[in-house]
Structure 1
Amino acid sequence: MENLVIPTQSREELVNITSAVQDKVRAMGWADGALLLWCPHTTGAVTVNEGDMQYPEGN
């Protein structure tokens, strides 16, 4: 299992992690398969907003 640490600046924050996940996949050399993202903290969440332009890459 690999870890990905996402720093935040405030108590409630929506963070686009797309580029961080893509970088991790590239760094690991993964080319196919399934990827499971899991947030173990009770007050955290992972959500999918496909094509949401309100939060562009890197924000």
Structure 2
Amino acid sequence: MLFKETLRTVRRDEMVDITRQVASRVAQSGMQEGVVIVYCTHTTAGITINENADPDVKLERSHAIE
């Protein structure tokens, strides 16, 4: 099963939480078990896995890029 999402950002460096979109697609699929693969086709974008337990992670990321 394949789903496509298009994300829009407003800043050059931005972290976007896609947890809800992914969870929604998993629910929509009706699957009970399996693996979710998130793939980004854009060459200047990336995917970061973060548990969102510490809000400073976003700040650390933006400082690392500067």
Could you state the TM-score of these two structures normalised by the residue count of structure 2?
0.69
Which has more helix, going by share of residues? 2
Asked which structure has the greater RCO (Cα within 8 Å, sep 6+), the reply is: 1
Q: Which has the larger radius of gyration?
A: 2
Residue equivalent to 1:27 = 28
- The count of corresponding residues between Structure 1 and Structure 2 is 55
Distance 2:14 2:23 in 1: 21
Q: Report Cα offsets for 1:3-59 as digits up to 9, x if no partner.
A: 12222122210011111110111112122101111101111111111243418xxxx
TM-score (norm 1): 0.76
**Which structure 2 segments of 5+ residues have no match?**
57-66
The match for 1:15 is: 16
